[in-house]
Structure 1
Amino acid sequence: MDIAEMMDQFLRNYDPENKMSEKQKKIVAAAIEIFSEKGFAATSTSEIAKKAGVAEGTIFRHYKTKKDLLISIVMPTMIKYVAPFFAKNFSREIFENEHKSFESFLRKMIQNRFDFAKQNFPILKIYMQEVFYHEELQGEFRKVFLNHVYEKFKNIILHFQEKGEIVFLPPDTVIRMIISTVLGFMVNRFVISPEKVWNDEEEIEQTVQFLLNGLKR
């Protein structure tokens, strides 16, 4: 699926009353592609305009600044796409199902997040590149995590601690270790070394085993 198709799917599924014109769609799709390849700071509005096949002035009729264009991509993605998909669907698929063991929970969670990252890589790459520079993006991420994920994640950890499967560390510490490990794998896989020849199944299994053995009671 190319980025233009991804944008159309996003708008159909998560913004059914979308009023975005065809030119705006082209601008946003071009911006996603170039921001993903070069980063926000290194991208010019003239490059975006050329890629979208519009005059540069057209961009500024819709977006006052380049940052407005970035936020128009990332914030709706966080609020309308990542929030419901990452948080609500993720919670339903992972935290609201029973897991026979901590190992089966880990394996299903990591595979779920890997599939999501692979499918939505261009948009997520922009977010990962820019989240450290824009407080509004950090705030949205914290809100989504705390409102939809944190308590259910904590309950899973407490459950498997009570079963004696994982070490009695504070649940926040265990959550942080899991997120740091999984995020580190995803960043290397999709951002730092995407050109490397990866054996994804093997990497996922090694990540599961690393966490499983590190947290074993």
Structure 2
Amino acid sequence: MANQDTAGKIIQATIDLIQEKGYKATTTKAIAEKAGVNEVTIFRHFGSKRNILEAAVQKFSYVPLLSQTIREQIVWDLEKDLYLLAKRYMDYLVSIQDFVLIGFKEAGLFPEIDEEIANIPLELKNVLVDYFLQMEQKGKISCPNFEVAALQFIYMNFGFFISRARLGLKVSALSNEAYLRNSIKIFSRGMTP
């Protein structure tokens, strides 16, 4: 338990410092100071600054949450299921907004970080493709390309989240709830035979 608490402190200190200074300017010494640990402790737990960021990406991945939702709460009704997934996805993105925005701030500067971050939507895409395949096998949807459908679902939700996170209500005054209900209704109609 103490190891998890220490690791959590190191991850949070890293995120705070990257948000404040950027990835390159964040040193393991500064992370150790902010986390209240020795620099040696950082290397013992993670080995490198990059490994801390990889651990943070895994910690903040929403894929396990959405996979669990599919396993436990799906009712095989496209509109209801997609609304549930979109709501969980949006709520989770809002809860880790600062971390997501760090990813955009640092995008392209460190390809190895981009690779780690790209794994999250890639895994989500695969989970959604599997759900759509099962829905097709049940005769509940018709879609010429499940990968495109999964990406469209991800992009319509992530795009709204980013717009709201960066621009507030300047683009749209719709509530998250109104946006999700209406966008899922439109999306679902396009896949219903």
Mapped partners of 1:145, 1:180: distance in 2: 10
Whether 2:187 is the aligned partner of 1:199: answer no
Listed as ranges, the matches of 1:6-155 within 5 Å are: 16=4, 18=6, 28=14, 30-34=16-20, 40=22, 71=50, 74-79=53-58, 81-83=59-61, 86-144=62-120, 149-155=124-130
Distance 2:189 2:7 in 1: 51
- Cα–Cα, structure 1 residues 198 and 26, in superposed 2: closer, same or farther, change >3 Å? same
Aligned residue for 2:190?
Answer: 214
Match of 1:6 in 2: none
Of all paired residues, the percent bearing the same amino acid is 15
Unaligned regions of 5+ residues in structure 2, if any? 43-47
Q: 2:147 aligns with which of 166, 172, 181?
A: 172
Q: For structure 1, which segment, 113-122 or 134-143, has the greater mean C-alpha deviation from structure 2 after superposition?
A: 134-143
Matched, 1:188 2:163: yes
- Partner residue, 1:65: none
> How large is the Cα RMSD of the aligned pairs?
3.7
Paired amino acid for 1:161: E
Q: What are the superposed Cα offsets for residues 29-81 of structure 1, whole Å, 9 maximum, x if unpaired?
A: 6425436xxxx49x977xxx8xx99xxxxx9xx9xxxxx86x476432113x1
Alpha-carbon separation, structure 2, partners of 1:105 and 1:25 = 33
| Displacement over 6 Å in runs of 4+ | none
CA–CA separation in structure 2 for the residues paired with 1:207 and 1:160: 19
Deviations 1:94-147 (A, max 9, x none): 34543230101110011001110111111111113333443212322344555x
For the structure 1 residues 178 and 31, does the alpha-carbon distance in structure 2 shift closer, same or farther, using more than 3 Å as the test?
Answer: same
Distance 1:171 1:195, change over 3 A: closer
The one-letter amino acid of 1:154's match is V
CA distance in 1, matches of 2:187, 2:78: 10
